[in-house]
Chains A and B, each alone.
Chain A
Amino acid sequence: MTDCYFCEILKGKVKAHKIYEDENTVVIAHPEPAVPGHLLIFPKTHHTIFELMPDSEAEHLFNLANKMSMAVFEALHAKGTNMIVQNGAAAGQEIPHFAMHIIPRNENDGLELLWEPRQLNEEEMSTVELKLKEGCKNIGKIPVPEKKAEAKKTEAKEEKKEPGKAEKKRENYLIKQLERMP
């Protein structure tokens, strides 16, 4: 990727104020911050959105974000921090490389990051609930290859079982026939 701002930073083509760097992750000071101390954390690997990131990287990034947030509290004497991911252009993502914002907060700092709460009717809520419940059944079950192997094994077992079942059925059928005999 050549056009990605974060990848350019990693390559050293674009200057950035690096705060922290490890094997997988980089933290920089936002070049155009909402407030001074506004940080960006992103993985070194180019993942456009959250969903494409491996679990291990996501876990690491969240924990690192937590540590950065603590550093912001202590270093800037902030009274709060916001951590925000803009996942997808509709959510405000501008650079096609997953990143998390850490924004220091203070009372009356003039930032408006909160939404207007809405009130949905019971029907709307229930519809959404049902859809999401169904979708959530697969959480944590999709990307594990071992489980697929297991699934295949069980399928094979079932195939083996089937002839046995057929025999039993036939037996039952025969027995039933016997029973029907006068």
Chain B
Amino acid sequence: MAEQEMTEEQVKALQEKLKKMSPEELKEFQKQQCIFCKIAAGQVASKKIYEDDRCIAILDINPANPGHVLLMPKEHYAIMPMMPEELLGHLARIAKGLSHVLLNSLKTEGTNIFIANGTAAGQRSQHFMIHIIPRKENDKVGIEIVSGKFDEKKINEAAKAISDRISGKELAKAETKEEKKAEENRKEKEEAEEKGEEEKKEETKKEIGLDDIARLFK
């Protein structure tokens, strides 16, 4: 979609309008703006290869490889966490089927299933989708997961933070917050000695909710 230039006043008016909208109205508004909703509704032409009552699969017009498929729900969801479990399960099943078709029909040697949540992860559309990309040996498609070099301590801390979050220990965090702060301070000092930049990153970390992520796509 070509973005039309708006005057500052128009932008302000739009922002005000968005603020006043109820979640339902907002969803409807996003839908109206979303190219993939139009494709799903058949209002915009696409190379559709699969469709059922809940989802649609089309060919990516700028594929990583010939046969690059985009699978998406017909209903508008900006990001994955907003989707109901049942629908996500359905997409998983269809993604598996599509991957199988790519292997069979195009004689590919493998597939990548790729999901991006948030612009930082490379999500470019405001409509949740699963990429299914056919792969061949040495095709030079740049989806490579390269191990980085990190301090083992850092790796373990991240892993612990995630498992704490999952096991609900997060709730009991309030008590240990002070301890953590002390620890963080110590860490920051250490990092500052090594790199000044690292510290900045720590500071810019803010609490980010799902709504904030979704908001990126308005």
Which residues of A pack against B, CB within 8 Å? Answer: 17-20, 29-30, 32-37, 39, 50-51, 53, 55, 58-63, 66-93, 100-101, 103-107, 109-120, 124-126, 128-129, 131-136, 138-140
Contact = CB atoms under 8 A, between A and B. Distances in A.
B88 A128 contact: no
B88 A85 contact: no
B43 interface: no
Q: Would you call the interface of chain A mostly helix, strand, loop, or mixed?
A: mixed
B63 A84 contact: no
B92 A73 contact: no
B59 A128 contact: yes
B34 interface: no
A85 B113 contact: yes
B80 to A, nearest CB: 5
Interface of B: 47, 49-50, 52, 57, 59, 61-67, 69, 80-81, 83, 85, 88-106, 108-123, 133, 135-137, 139, 141-148, 150, 154-159, 161-166, 170, 201, 205-208, 210, 213
Contacts, number: 281
Contacts of A109: 120
Given A88-B103, A126-B47, 17 more contacts: A36-B150, A39-B162, A58-B96, A59-B92, A62-B95, A73-B208, A77-B206, A86-B110, A91-B143, A103-B121, A109-B120, A112-B144, A114-B143, A115-B142, A117-B62, A118-B66, A136-B50
A51 B207 contact: no
Given A81-B118, A113-B143, A51 B81 contact: no
Most buried by B among A104, A109, A111, A138: A111
Contacts of B100: 51, 139
Q: Would you call the interface of chain B mostly helix, strand, loop, or mixed?
A: mixed
12 contacts: A29-B155, A33-B147, A51-B96, A59-B90, A59-B93, A81-B117, A82-B122, A117-B64, A125-B59, A125-B66, A136-B57, A140-B97
A119 B68 CA distance: 12
Given A70-B210, A83-B114, A129-B59, A90 B123 contact: no
